[in-house]
Amino acid sequence: MSPHKGGFAATCRRPIMQLSLETGSSCAPDASTVAVLAKRRQKVEEMHFGLTEEQDLIVSTVRAFVENEIYPHEDEVERTGEVPDDVAEAIKEKTKELGFYACNFPEGVGGAGLGHLDFALVERELGRGSMALTHFFGRPQNILMACKDDQIERYLMPAVRGERMDALAMSEPEAGSDVRGMKCTAKRDGGDWVINGTKHFISGADHADFFIVFVATGVDETPRGPKKRITTFLVDRGTPGFEVRDGYKSVSHRGYKNMILEFDDCRLPDAQVLGEVDGGFAIMNEWLYATRITVATMCVGRARRCFDLALNYAADRKQFGQQIGKFQGVSFQIADMITEIDAADYLTLASAWRLDEGLPANREIASAKVYASEMLARVTDTTLQIFGGMGLMDDFPVERFWRDARVERIWDGTSEIQRHIISRDLLRPLNA
Ligand SMILES: Cc1cc2nc3c(=O)[nH]c(=O)nc-3n(C[C@H](O)[C@H](O)[C@H](O)COP(=O)(O)OP(=O)(O)OC[C@H]3O[C@@H](n4cnc5c(N)ncnc54)[C@H](O)[C@@H]3O)c2cc1C
Tell me the per-residue pLDDT of 31-64, one tens digit each, with 9 for 90 and over. Answer: 666 666 566 555 554 556 688 999 999 999 999 9
**Residue-level pLDDT at 29:** 54
| Averaged pLDDT for residues 119-124 | 98
- In ligand 1, which atom is closest to the CA atom of 253? 1
* Higher local confidence (pLDDT), 317 or 4: 317
| Averaged pLDDT for residues 94-120 | 96
Tell me the per-residue pLDDT of 343-368, one tens digit each, with 9 for 90 and over. Answer: 999 999 999 999 999 999 999 999 99
Q: Is the pLDDT of residue 316 over 70?
A: yes
* Amino acid letter, 123: E
What distance in Å separates the CA atoms of residue 116 and residue 58, rounded to the nearest whole number? 13
Separation of first and last alpha carbons in the chain: 42
- In ligand 1, which atom is closest to the CA atom of 179? 21
Q: Is the pLDDT of residue 126 over 90?
A: yes
**Residue-level pLDDT at 287:** 86
The residue among 82, 181, 137 whose CA lies nearest residue 298 is 137
* CB burial string 213-251: b at 16+ within 10 A, e below: bbbbbeeeeeeeeeebbbbbbbbebebeebebeebeebe
**Residue-level pLDDT at 288:** 85
CA atoms within 13 A on the CB side of 122: 23
Residue pair 97/91 in contact (Cβ under 8 Å)? The answer is no
Calculate how far, in angstroms, residue 140's C-alpha sits from the geometric centre of ligand 1: 21
Pocket of ligand 1 (CB under 6 A): 168-171, 176-177, 201-203, 250, 258, 407, 410-414, 416-417, 420
Tell me the per-residue pLDDT of 229-269, one tens digit each, with 9 for 90 and over. Answer: 999 999 999 999 999 999 999 999 999 999 999 999 999 99
**Residue-level pLDDT at 285:** 87
Q: Give the pLDDT band (50/70/90) at residue 427.
A: very high
Q: Is the pLDDT of residue 22 over 50?
A: no
Residue pair 247/259 in contact (Cβ under 8 Å)? The answer is yes
* Higher local confidence (pLDDT), 59 or 5: 59
Domains and CATH numbers, the chain: 7-46 (no CATH), 53-139 (1.10.540.10), 166-286 (2.40.110.10), 289-430 (1.20.140.10)
Q: Write the residue with the smallest CA distance to atom 48 of ligand 1.
A: 414
Q: Is the pLDDT of residue 299 over 90?
A: yes
CA distances for 365 relative to 34, 77, 220, 354, angstroms: 24, 31, 30, 9
What distance in Å separates the CA atoms of residue 305 and residue 307, rounded to the nearest whole number? 5
Q: Write the residue with the smallest CA distance to atom 7 of ligand 1.
A: 202
**Residue 6, SS3?**
coil
- Angle between helix 291-316 and helix 398-408 axes, rounded to 10 deg: 150
What distance in Å separates the CA atoms of residue 27 and residue 296, rounded to the nearest whole number? 31
